[in-house]
Each structure stands twice: as structure tokens, then as C-alpha cells.
Amino acid sequence: MLRSMLRIRRFEEKAIEVFSEGLMGGVLHTYIGEEAVAVGVCSNLRVDDYVAGTHRGHGHCLAKGAPSDRMLAELMGRKTGLNKGKGGSMHTIDFSKGILGSNGIVGSGIPIVVGAALSAKMRGTDQVAVAFFGDGATNRGSFHEGLNLAALWDLPAIFVCEDNKWAISVPKRRSTKLEDLSVRASSYGMPGVSVDGSDILAVHQAAAAVVARARRGEGPTLLVCDTPRARGHEEGDPQDYRPKDDLEAAKRRDPIEGLKTYMLGAGMLTGDEFEAVDKAIVQEIMEAERFARQSPFPRPEEALDDLFAEVH
């Protein structure tokens, strides 16, 4: 799990670098500070389980097993990218790893995950489907409709809310009266669980229970993870709207530092071992960067491919 969180962190640090060089179009929303949620949940999943991410989706994809080189190539619009350069940062999709898509539309992955869980149930598999979304997304109709359907049909779905208290510049307290969003679960007749989302062990443990429950056919759960957003909404966001101490507090809750400190303290890891792990990951990301930079752009005419599947 430490490795997986570090991979996300180093990947995104590289993405920021490449973005500031102007080699990446569009916008870049990083997951920095929230890694424990994706990793804590996905470490309980199999390759054939489904996840749907958010506009802040690099962490979900990497934690679910997407290759860092093809992901970085995608962010840089290359032909070798996961989506042949048609998706980009907000829309990374890898069906071979059960990743049904990061999503540019807040909350829209939720009904899609409901359908994937429905399909798993209909096909009689024991796959589960996980939707990640922010606290802001819980105010959308798709959240309410999706949770209601999943509960009604006892689907193997897990709804993971990344409660970072912000939706761009709007603080959570200005978009809902609720403090603890997990209480929303009770209005659909499913359990709601709240957990410290910067504590990877807590997330992992809570997710293990709800994933097992879903796999046993006992239905969906809403898992709310209290997690800090350590950077702006997107790169380049000056965060003028945000109190300084809120940002400082977010940075102090670094889940990677948290796990590292815990493991060092418990004698599960030495400083040297940590360095070695980190070095290997930095190496992987450097190779991913080399791969992405050396990859060609798609031919312009490829813009017209992949619209429809051939009728067979």
C-alpha cells in the first residue's frame, strides 16, 4: 500500500512538472493528499472488479492497476496513451483493469457503477463495483438515484465519498447542512460508514469489510472518507478563497508520511528500505516519462476513428 500511494504521488509530481512545461493540454486535478482512499479501497479489489473514478482520477486508475507509462502518455495526448490520446487527464479509462472511466462530469460515474454491479449480479459473478466521488457530488441527482437503485436491488456496489470539504472554491458547509455525509446512506436503506481517509490502515480495514459484504451479496454501502485536499482544485489554482490554516492542516495530514511513520515506529520498515522503495518508483516514473515524451502524437485523421463499433 505504501508503494502504491508513493506511485500515485510520484506520478502526479511528474505530471505537474510536465504540465508546467506546457506539454499537457487542458487542466490537471491532482489527488495529492487523498491517496489513502484509492489505495485503501482498491487494495481490496480484484482485477475483474469495477471502479469508476472522478475528474481527480489518476489515483483511482493507478491503484486499480493502470500502467503509469501509458497513463502519462495519455495525459500528454500521445498515440500510445491508454485512450490513444482521446481521453486525457479527466477521462482515463482502462477496461482491461476494470476501470470504467475517470469522469469529467461530477457524480456521473455513480449510475454507471450501479449498472456494472447490476450486471455482475445478473451474470452471477461475485464481482463488485466501486464508485469514487467527492463531497460535492453527493448533492447531485445521480448520487441519490444511484444509491437508491443499488439499495433497492441489493447490488454489490460500494460508494466511496472522498470528503475533502471543498468543491472548487465552495466549502462543504455552504452546500449541505450535514457534517457527516454517511448519514445519507440511511435514507436509502443501506449502511453508511465514516472513516479517517488519511489513515490508510483505517480505510483499508473499513473497505475490506464493505467489499466483503458486497461480494457476499449483502448489498451496497456508502463509505465516507474524510480526506484533505493538499493542493488547489487544479494546478494553477491560487486558492485565494481558502483559509491558510486549512491548507496547512491538509498538508500536515499526509497519508504517506502517516504510514511511513507508523511503519518505522512499529519496526516494519527501515529508513533505508523506504528510500529503496521510493527510488524504484521514481525510476519507474522516469521511464514512464521517457516513454511518454518519446511517443508520437496520433495522426490527425485518427480523430475520426473509434466512434462506432462495427456491427458483427
Partner 1 sequence: MREINYQQALNEALKEEMARDERVFVLGEDIGLIGGNFGITRGLLEEFGSERVLDTPISEDGFVGASLGAAITGMRPVAEVMFSSFMGCCMEQIWNQISKIRYMSGGQVEVPLVIRTVNALGRSTAAQHNERPEAMFMHIPGLKIVTPATPYDAKGLLKASIRDPNPVIFFEQCFLYFTAKGHVPEEDYIVPLGKADVKRRGTDVTIVSYSAMVYKALEAAELLSARGVEAEVVDLRTLSPLDRETLLESVKATGKVVIAEDDCKFGGVGAEVTAIIMEEAFDYLDAPVLRVATRDVPTPFSKPLENHIMPTVDDIVAACGKVAGA
Ligand X SMILES: Cc1ncc(C[n+]2csc(CCOP(=O)(O)OP(=O)(O)O)c2C)c(N)n1
C-alpha cell at 166: 471543498
On whether the CB atoms of residues 258 and 52 are closer than 8 A, the answer is no
# of chain residues touching ligand X (CB under 6 A): 17
Residue whose grid cell is 469508476:
52
In the bound state with ligand X, the residue whose beta carbon lies nearer, of 44 and 54, is: 54
CB of 63 to partner 1, least distance (A): 19
Distance (Å, rounded) from C-alpha 68 to C-alpha 218? Answer: 34
DSSP state of 99: B
Distance (Å, rounded) from C-alpha 134 to C-alpha 122? Answer: 29
Distance (Å, rounded) from C-alpha 261 to C-alpha 165? Answer: 25
State yes or no: residue 139 binds partner 1 (CB under 8 A). Answer: no
152 membership: H or E segment, kind and range: helix 141-152
C-alpha cell at 164: 475533502
State yes or no: residue 299 binds partner 1 (CB under 8 A). Answer: no
Among the listed residues 1, 24, 100, 230, the single contact to partner 1 using CB under 8 A: 100
Among the listed residues 174, 244, 299, 312, the single contact to partner 1 using CB under 8 A: 312
Distance (Å, rounded) from C-alpha 2 to C-alpha 61? Answer: 16
State yes or no: residue 12 binds ligand X (CB under 6 A). Answer: no
Among the listed residues 13, 16, 67, 84, the single contact to partner 1 using CB under 8 A: 84
On whether the CB atoms of residues 33 and 58 are closer than 8 A, the answer is no
Among the listed residues 4, 108, 182, 227, the single contact to partner 1 using CB under 8 A: 108
State yes or no: residue 219 binds partner 1 (CB under 8 A). Answer: no
State yes or no: residue 106 binds ligand X (CB under 6 A). Answer: yes
Q: Which residues bind partner 1 (CB under 8 A)?
A: 50, 81-87, 91, 93-96, 100-101, 103-105, 108, 110-120, 122-123, 129, 141-142, 145-146, 148-149, 152-153, 305-312
Q: Which residues bind ligand X (CB under 6 A)?
A: 54-56, 104-106, 133-137, 162, 164, 166-168, 233
